[in-house]
Structure 1
Amino acid sequence: MSAPFANLYYKRAVATPRTCYICSKPTTTVLSTQPVVDFIYTCDTHLSDTGFVTLQAPSASPTPSASAEEIARIKSEWEAKQKKKQEQAGNDKKDGEDKKDDEKKDGDKDKVVSLKPASPAPVASGSTTPKHDKYALHRQFYTMRLTDHRRRRQQKEVDALAPKLSSTGLSVPKQMG
């Protein structure tokens, strides 16, 4: 059976202080797993203790970023293609319509052209991994966290199953005689 969560915790800051897992002092620093299955409130001083956690080195694979020149070149090519498409669509439609419809479409085209360059500008980054510091718990602390997690899961199963069990056999029968 594999572990329910990996030994990889991300350092995050929270607004509400809670007690530290080690020294019970109030702290706003929390270590949590990526899908938040487990979390530990710790003081910043404990994060430098190698007996508790070790800081994981950041990944060495830099993300390739496009230069401003490349972005401008691609943007201009895209705009040119969009203008050609609009002109072709406009030419096809103009053949069968009268001048009043043409004037309305020209006004609509100006509105569409002004809106389209604004739409590709907000580009969202595709990465969903947080940019926080990564830590790995010492193996004994990690084992304790796994044990606590397993115990909580088993207790939930017992609590869910207990009402379904019959109550017969719970009372001691009286002896005759």
Structure 2
Amino acid sequence: MSAPFLNVYYKRAVATPRACYICNKPTTIVLSTQPVLDFIYTCDTHLSDPGFATLQAPAVSPTPSASTEEIAKIKAEWEAKQKKKQEQAEKEKKDEGDKKDEKKDEEKEKAVSSPKPSSPAPVAGGSTTPKHDKYVLHRQFYTMRLTEHRRRRQQKEVDALAPKLSGAGLSVPKQMG
């Protein structure tokens, strides 16, 4: 059976201090797994101890962020395509007649104004997600956490199953007569 959670913990800060897992001093630093199945309150000094946990090197982003030159180039290409579309639309509408000429002017005004608001939209990047330090616990501490997690899960199963069991074997039988 595989472990219920990986040995990868993320350092996070919390508002209310709790006792450290090692020394019981109040701390606001917690290590938690990504789907929060396990968490450990720990002091900053214990995080620097290689006998407790080791800091993982930050992973290099597989998709590098676009530079400002690349963004400007793509923006210019997009604007050129939009101008071509507008010119084609104007040619088609001139052929249709004077009736639709008024509508063309209105659409032209709308088309001219629409690219301007859309250009600031790509500015929002993926850098808004917070970055947390990634730690790996020492194997003995990780084993202790797995054992404690297993014990809690088994206790929940026992508590859920206990009311379903009858009390047939628990009482002393009455003597007949």
TM-score w.r.t. structure 2 length?
0.83
Length, aligned pairs only: 175
**Secondary structure at 2:126's aligned position in 1?**
coil
In 2: Cα distance, 1:87 partner to 1:55 partner: 58
5+ residue gaps in structure 2? Answer: none
Matches within 5 A, 1:21-60: 21-59=21-59
Match of 2:117 in 1: 115
Which has the larger displacement, 138-147 or 96-105? 96-105
Which has the larger displacement, 141-150 or 74-83? 74-83
Deviation at 1:93, TM superposition (A): 4.8
Q: 1:175 to 1:93 in 2, by over 3 A?
A: farther
Matches within 5 A, 1:135-154: 135-154=135-154
TM-score w.r.t. structure 1 length?
0.83
In 2: Cα distance, 1:78 partner to 1:89 partner: 17
In 2: Cα distance, 1:12 partner to 1:107 partner: 51
Which of residues 89, 105, 109 in structure 1 aligns to 2:107?
105
5+ residue gaps in structure 1? Answer: none
Which has the larger displacement, 113-122 or 40-49? 113-122
Q: 1:120 to 1:62 in 2, by over 3 A?
A: closer
Deviation at 1:173, TM superposition (A): 1.7
In 2: Cα distance, 1:16 partner to 1:94 partner: 70
Deviation at 1:62, TM superposition (A): 6.9
**Secondary structure at 1:51's aligned position in 2?**
coil
Kindly indicate which of the two structures has a greater share of residues assigned to helix. 2
Deviation at 1:21, TM superposition (A): 0.7
Match of 1:17 in 2: 17
In 1: Cα distance, 2:121 partner to 2:60 partner: 33
Deviation at 1:147, TM superposition (A): 0.7
Deviation at 1:26, TM superposition (A): 0.7
Match of 1:158 in 2: 158
Which has the larger displacement, 155-164 or 18-27? 155-164
**Secondary structure at 2:18's aligned position in 1?**
strand
